C-alpha cells in the first residue's frame, strides 16, 4: 500500500517518537530489601572494601555485612572541634584509607563548616579542615581524582567541588540542570552523584558528571519518615543503599535498591 505525503510524515514521526521514548527512558530505583538499624545511626552510610561505615549525629561505627558493630565511637567529634560549635556529623564517605565526615555547626550564616578525616580501620580521628559552606549535610570523594563534592545549602542547583590533594582548594562547581531541595546524603559512583533527600517523598536523584543533568529515580520508601544518607556502591544487584529514619524515630531503615534504565 502506498502512503500519501501526510501519511508518510505521520509514519516517520511515529517511528521517531517510539525510538526517542526507548532511548530516553528514565532510570528508576526499586527497593529489593531492607533491614533495621540501631536508631543512633541516623545520618550516613558508606561502603568500604568489606565493611560499612555508619554515622549518627556524634557517632561513627564500622559494621560487618550482617550489620553487626565491629567498632563504635560514640563521641567522634574531638573536644576542640566541639568547642568551636561543631555538634553534628552528616553523611560520610570512604576513599582509600580514610573516612570523610562533614562536621556542621548550627550558625549557618557564619558560612563555615568542616570536613574531618578518620582512619577507616580504627575510626581514629586524623584531622579536619574548614570549608566555606553555609551547611554541610554530606561529603563524597572521588577516589580516582580525589575531588570532593558537597552542597552549600540543603537545597540548591550546584555541587561544590574541592581538590583534596591541594588542601581542599575550591574548584568550579558542577551546575545542575534543576534545583534539588532538602538534600541529606550523596555518593559519587558510576560517573554520577547520587542524591537522597528528605523532601515530602524522600526522592532520590542521579546527577550525571560532568554535565550536571538531574534525573529523578523515585523514592527510598517510608515517605512519612526522613530520608538521610546514601551509598552507591554496587553490591550484588543493588546499586543504592539508603538510610531512612522511621516516622516514629526508631528504627532507622537501610533500604537496598536496584536502578534500571
Can you give the CATH number for the domain in which 182 is found?
A: 2.130.10.10
Q: Is residue 22 part of a domain?
A: no
Expressed as residue numbers, the domain containing 118 is 32-260
Say how many domains are in the chain.
Answer: 1
Q: Is residue 119 part of a domain?
A: yes
Query: What does the pLDDT profile of the chain (261 residues) look like in tens digits?
Result: 333 433 444 443 333 333 444 455 789 999 999 999 999 999 999 999 899 999 999 999 999 999 999 999 999 999 999 999 999 999 999 999 999 999 999 999 999 999 999 999 999 999 999 999 999 999 999 999 999 999 999 999 999 999 999 999 999 999 999 999 999 999 999 999 999 999 999 999 999 999 999 999 999 999 999 999 999 999 999 999 999 999 999 999 999 999 998
b/e 187-218 (16+ beta carbons within 10 angstroms → b)? bbbeebbbbbbbbeebbbbbbbbeebebbbbb
Q: Is residue 115 part of a domain?
A: yes
Q: Is residue 2 part of a domain?
A: no
**Residue whose entry in the numeric block shows the C-alpha cell 537522597:** 196
Q: What pLDDT was estimated at residue 23?
A: 53
Q: Is residue 37 part of a domain?
A: yes
Q: What pLDDT was estimated at residue 5?
A: 39
Cα distance between residue 230 and residue 220, in whole Å = 10
Q: Is 204 helix (H, G, I), strand (E, B) or coil?
A: strand
Q: Is residue 100 part of a domain?
A: yes
The residues, any chain, with a CB within 8 Å of residue 189's CB and separated by 6 or more, are 232, 233, 234, 239
Q: Is residue 176 part of a domain?
A: yes
Q: Is residue 88 part of a domain?
A: yes
Amino acid at each position: 500500500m502506498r502512503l500519501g505525503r501526510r501519511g508518510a510524515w505521520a509514519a516517520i514521526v511515529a517511528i521517531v517518537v517510539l525510538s526517542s521514548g526507548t532511548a530516553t527512558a528514565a532510570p528508576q530505583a526499586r527497593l529489593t530489601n531492607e533491614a533495621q538499624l540501631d536508631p543512633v545511626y541516623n545520618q550516613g552510610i558508606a561502603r568500604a572494601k568489606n565493611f560499612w561505615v555508619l554515622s549518627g549525629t556524634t557517632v561513627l561505627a564500622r559494621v560487618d555485612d550482617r550489620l553487626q558493630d565491629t567498632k563504635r565511637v560514640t563521641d567522634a567529634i574531638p573536644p576542640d572541634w566541639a568547642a568551636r560549635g561543631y555538634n553534628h556529623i552528616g553523611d560520610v564517605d570512604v576513599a582509600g584509607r580514610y573516612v570523610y565526615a562533614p562536621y556542621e555547626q548550627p550558625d549557618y550564616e557564619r558560612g563555615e563548616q568542616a570536613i574531618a578525616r578518620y582512619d577507616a580501620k580504627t575510626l581514629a580521628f586524623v584531622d579536619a579542615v574548614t570549608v566555606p559552606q553555609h551547611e554541610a549535610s554530606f561529603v563524597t570523594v572521588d577516589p580516582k581524582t580525589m575531588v570532593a563534592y558537597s552542597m552549600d545549602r540543603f537545597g540548591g542547583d550546584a555541587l561544590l567541588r574541592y581538590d583534596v590533594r591541594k588542601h581542599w582548594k575550591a574548584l568550579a562547581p558542577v551546575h545542575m540542570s534543576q534545583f534539588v531541595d532538602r538534600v541529606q546524603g550523596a555518593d559519587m559512583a558510576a560517573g554520577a552523584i547520587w542524591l537522597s533527600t528528605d523532601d515530602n517523598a524522600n526522592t532520590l536523584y542521579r546527577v550525571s558528571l560532568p554535565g550536571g543533568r538531574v534525573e529523578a529515580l523515585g523514592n527510598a520508601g517510608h515517605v512519612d519518615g526522613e530520608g538521610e544518607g546514601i551509598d552507591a556502591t554496587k553490591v550484588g544487584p543493588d546499586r543504592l543503599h539508603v538510610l531512612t529514619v522511621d516516622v516514629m524515630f526508631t528504627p532507622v531503615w537501610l533500604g537496598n535498591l536496584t536502578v534500571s534504565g
